[in-house]
Structure 1
Amino acid sequence: MFVRIVKMSFHEENIPAFLENFELMKQKIRNSPGNRLLELYQDKSIPGIFFTYSYWETEQDLENYRQSELFYDVWQFTKKLFNDKPEAWSVDKLVSLK
């Protein structure tokens, strides 16, 4: 399993539109084949910065999602709201304590 972390920065006036769209799409993203977890975080001191963490069974599962119509629809809407280039990392989860 690995984790995809995406950092996104929005104009403050676009935050409500982003959150509304995320609310509409989150279950569809979470139900994509191979997705095991989807989380959204907001920076405590800079409200326009958000992070998504998504857990995937395989890199191919993420790639399949990234090639899907769902991803295209989500990304076409979201990228119009950015005020900076998004950043993304794919990382292997090594330890998790509960």
Structure 2
Amino acid sequence: MLVRIVKLTFKKENITSFETIFKNNKQKIRQADGCTFLELLQSEEDKNIFFTYSHWNSATDLENYKNSEFFKSVWQKTKLLFEAKPEAWSLTKKETIN
């Protein structure tokens, strides 16, 4: 399994617009082939910083999603709202602690 964490920093005046985009598209993202989990997190210290946290069956599934017309359409709208360049990490889950 691949874990994907993306840090998104928005201009304060664009937070509501981003939250609307996410709300309107989260179900379709969760239904993408290979996506098994998706959540949105917001920093307690800096309210204009968000993280998406998602699980993918494979790196190929993530790449296929990122190359989809759906992703390109949503990303086109989202990137207009940024204050800083997004950062992303793809991680392999090594151990789960319960």
Q: How many residues align?
A: 98
**Which residue does the alignment assign to 1:79?**
79
Gapped runs of 5+ residues in structure 1? none
Letter in 2 for 1:87: E
**Which residue does the alignment assign to 1:91?**
91
SS in 2 for 1:7: strand
Structure 1: 4+ residue segments shifted above 3 A? none
Aligned positions of 1:33-72 closer than 5 A: 33-72=33-72
SS in 2 for 1:84: coil
Q: What's the CA shift for 1:88?
A: 0.3
SS in 1 for 2:81: coil
Letter in 2 for 1:23: K
SS in 1 for 2:21: helix
Q: Distance in 2 between the 1:47 and 1:96 partners?
A: 29
Aligned CA-pair RMSD: 0.7
Q: Distance in 1 between the 2:25 and 2:95 partners?
A: 29
Q: Distance in 2 between the 1:84 and 1:5 partners?
A: 16
**Which residue does the alignment assign to 2:19?**
19
Q: Distance in 1 between the 2:45 and 2:6 partners?
A: 18
SS in 2 for 1:80: helix
**TM-score, length-scaled by structure 1:** 0.97
Q: Deviations along 1:23-78, whole A, 9 cap, x unmatched? A: 00000000000000001000001000000011000100000000001110110010
- Aligned residues with identical type, % of pairs: 52
